[in-house]
Amino acid sequence: MNLPPLTLPKVPIPFDIPQMLHPMVVHFAIALPIVVLLLEIINLFVKKRAIGVMSFFLLLLGSATLGVAYLTGNVDATIANTAELIKEHQTLGAYLVVLSAVVFGLKLISVILRAGVIKALYMMLLILLSAGVCKAGFDGIKLVYDNGINVKKVNTLQTSLTNKDAQIKKLNDAYHLISKDKEELKAKVQELNTTNTQIKKELSKLKEKDAETNQANLNQPKESEAVVVSDTNSTVDESNTTSVLKDINQTNITQEENITRI
């Protein structure tokens, strides 16, 4: 049963309503309208004024009890861990409070005017009120026994589960933060590796250049020595040539002298 949302205006109370009074009050709120309905049905046949008066005061007490049950139910709803399950129950309770006030008003009017139409309307709404409180009571039983609303052990487990969920969420947030930091560190390490590789290449080039420079410095004295040696060899060769030429000339001169003598 999906009823439109209905919230009753808050009534200022000069004291705080204790928790866990709803289970005690709600039994009267369920029983009294049903008792009034039974009395009214009996009075249709018996027609005793005393029964009518009794049903009037019981209906007044039942309407007040429904109001108290609504207030205590709202207090207990604040300590329940599953508030979503209680919304429909609270809405039905608000409608029942309004309906009980209307039924009591019709009862008062029927007592004053004694009109048959008002009496018939009163009986129909009283039947609807009795059915409504039975439905609310059945829903309340399901909330307690099936869903564990305001059952201490269930609440303890629910609180523990809520705390675990909060811890899991906290750990997940920490994990995502660590993962983000890990990715940033990976990027920095990769950047450092790239820089290190470039430095190694530049260092290797510098070493090769130093090696070439050292090799050039080692080769330079040998070339000068070779030049000196070649110059010396040339001098020796020239002196030898000169000596040979002198010997040839001397031989020619000797031959000419011999020919002249002959």
Q: Which of 50, 73, 54, 72 is nearest to 62 (CA)?
A: 54
* Three-state SS at 137: helix
Domain of residue 96, residue span: 22-150
39 Cα distance to chain centroid: 58
DSSP state letter for 147:
T
Helix 49-77 crosses helix 22-46 at what angle (to 10 degrees)? 160
| CA-CA-CA-CA torsion sign (19, 24, 27, 30) | negative
**pLDDT of 192:** 86
pLDDT of residue 259: 52
pTM of the predicted protein model: 0.58
- Rounded to the nearest angstrom, the gap between the alpha carbon of residue 136 and the centroid of all alpha carbons in its chain is 36
How far is residue 58's CA from residue 36's CA, in Å, rounded to a whole number?
A: 6
Please report the pLDDT score of residue 39 as a whole number: 95
Closest of 68, 128, 62, 135 to residue 101, by C-alpha: 62
Q: What is the pLDDT along the chain (262 residues), one digit of tens a residue?
A: 678 888 788 777 778 888 888 888 999 999 999 999 999 999 999 989 899 899 999 999 999 999 999 999 888 887 766 666 788 888 999 999 999 999 999 999 988 887 789 999 999 999 999 999 999 999 888 888 877 776 665 566 667 777 787 889 888 888 888 887 888 888 888 888 888 888 888 888 887 877 778 777 777 655 444 444 455 444 445 555 555 556 655 665 565 555 555 4
| Cα–Cα distance, 4 to 88 (Å, whole number) | 9
Residue 213 half-sphere exposure toward CB, CA atoms < 13 A: 6
Residue 215 resides in a domain = no
Query: Residue 5 phi/psi, 5° resolution?
Result: -60, 140
**Residue ranges in the chain assigned as alpha helix (H):** 22-46, 49-77, 87-113, 116-145, 152-261
Structure confidence at residue 36 (pLDDT): 96
Looking at residue 221, what is its pLDDT? 56
Q: Domains in the chain: how many in total?
A: 1
Count of beta carbons in the 10 Å neighbourhood of residue 228: 10
CA angle 50/53/129 to nearest 5° reads 125
Instruction: Tell me if 125 is assigned to some domain.
Output: yes
Whether residue 73 lies inside any domain: the answer is yes
pLDDT at 112: 87
The number of residues making up the chain comes to 262
pLDDT at 229: 46
Domain assignment present for 205: no
In our burial notation (b when 16+ CB lie closer than 10 A, e otherwise), range 177-210 reads: eeeeeeeeeeeeeeeeeeeeeeeeeeeeeeeeee
In a domain, 190, yes or no: no
pLDDT of residue 260: 53
Is 40 part of a structural domain of the chain?
Answer: yes
Residue with tokens 């009794």, as numbered in its chain: 54
Residue 161: inside a domain? no
Residue type, 181: D
DSSP code of residue 15: S
| Cβ-based neighbours of 69, under 8 Å, separated by 6 or more | 22, 25, 26, 28, 29, 93
pLDDT at residue 14, as a whole number:
78
CA–centroid distance for 85 within its chain: 23
Which pLDDT score, from 0 to 100, does residue 258 have?
52
